[in-house]
Amino acid sequence: MRYVLLVVSCLLFLIGCKNKDEFTISGQIENTGNVKVISLYEGDRKLDSIFFGDNNAFQFKRPTSQARLLSLRVGKNRYDLIASPGEEITFKADLQKDVNNYQIEGSNLSSTIQSFSKMRNRRDFVRDSLQAEFGKKTLAADADEIEILRSEYKQKFTEQLKYYTKAAVDFANQHDDIAGFYAISTLDPEIAESEIIRYADQIKDKFLDNGYVTQFKEETNKLKRLAVGQPAPDFESFTPNNKSVKLSDFRGKYVLLDFWASWCTPCRQENPNVVRLYHTYKAKGFDVFGVSLDDNPGPWMRAITDDQLQWTNASDLKAWGSSVVGLYRITGIPTSYIVDPKGLIVAKNLRGQELEEFLKKTLK
């Protein structure tokens, strides 16, 4: 009897009896063409994927105890939103219209980030356009020309990201909630390392029940350990003659800590530039410590000879199983750090002209 009265009460007073432990996202996508599926993501993790219903309608319903940063993916389009417990969100979009032209109701935080989502989409468009342009120009280019083009396009994209980084920080300063966190979470750690670390420190005692924010804080702590200005973690490795060598042995010099391998084409292409700069600046306090991710001594030592790498080279010959991979969070090579005479990290991943400009400025 009590259950019947509760149902009647909900119907009469139109309360809706929402489930406070879940969210619902429902809506319609017009002009889908050959696209038949819509997917729901949290970060890069796909949570669900369904076929469109009649009139290209869809609905996602999932349990949650906290506000969650999500995105709807339809074809090549991405729509960011925030779903909180108990929210019933309605969404409408048209694939023939601009990706920023969509309607969302039932979520104040989703409406808040809609304007910033436009900037994120613009950034992604610029990145994809530059990558496509770079790809076309390098089709008939040689190794030296490719490196010059790579430096030029990296500089172009970095300049674009500076404006985007400032916009994200300003947005976060204006929104002291999960919407502000959303803006910061879209930043590139290679460009906005200090901004990300600063924001993580600001929210260390906030959003404690949010798993996504907790993961962000954990990753930022790892990033902070290798941030510019931090001591470079010391480690021991072995030369081709099986002599022990440590990073701390280079104290008193500016040292390029260069993670590479004989099989890494971009690494080998960069080696002539590093050789030239090594001979130009070694008398001014510059040195190189090459750490290889090879697992076979033969190719490693041949590469050292063929590329005339006259600086200290070392490897434990464990490739990606090497302890330095985790210590320096290496996900790809070439990866490099510049460590100052006191053992502090002062720059990362400088190649080509960028490395030369740093050395010119630093070792006058």
Report the distance separating Cα 201 and Cα 194, nearest Å: 11
Q: Give the model confidence (pLDDT) of 72-102 as tens digits.
A: 999 999 999 999 999 999 999 999 998 889 9
Average pLDDT over residues 55-71: 93
pLDDT bracket for residue 18 (50, 70, 90) = low
Spans of all domains in the chain? 2-106, 117-225, 236-362
- Non-local (6+) Cβ contacts of 61 within 8 A are 22, 23, 24, 25
Q: Give the model confidence (pLDDT) of 134-145 as tens digits.
A: 888 888 877 767
Q: Does residue 15 register a pLDDT over 70?
A: no
Q: Does residue 154 register a pLDDT over 90?
A: no
Report the distance separating Cα 267 and Cα 307, nearest Å: 11
Contact assessment for residue 200 and residue 216, using Cβ atoms and an 8 Å cutoff: yes
Q: Would you give the distance in Å from CA 3 to the centre of its chain?
A: 50
What is the predicted pLDDT for the residue at 360? 96
How many Cβ atoms from other residues are within 10 Å of residue 126's Cβ?
15
Average pLDDT over residues 359-363: 95
What six digits make up the tokens of 241?
């003659």
Contact assessment for residue 314 and residue 238, using Cβ atoms and an 8 Å cutoff: yes
Average pLDDT over residues 331-348: 96
What is the predicted pLDDT for the residue at 136? 86
How far is CA 109 from each of CA 101, 317, 341, 362, rounded to the nearest angstrom?
17, 50, 48, 46
Q: Which fold has domain 236-362?
A: Glutaredoxin (3.40.30)
How many Cβ atoms from other residues are within 10 Å of residue 30's Cβ?
12
What is the predicted pLDDT for the residue at 11? 40
Q: Does residue 129 register a pLDDT over 80?
A: yes
Name the percent of the chain lying above pLDDT 70: 94
Contact assessment for residue 300 and residue 240, using Cβ atoms and an 8 Å cutoff: yes
Name the average pLDDT for the chain: 90
What six digits make up the tokens of 199?
């924001």
When mean pLDDT is compared over 95-99, 217-221, 265-269, 289-293, the highest value belongs to 289-293
Of residues 327, 314, 352, 162, the one with CA closest to residue 230? 327
Range 2-106 classified under CATH 3.90.1720.10: no
- Output 10 or 356, whichever has higher pLDDT: 356
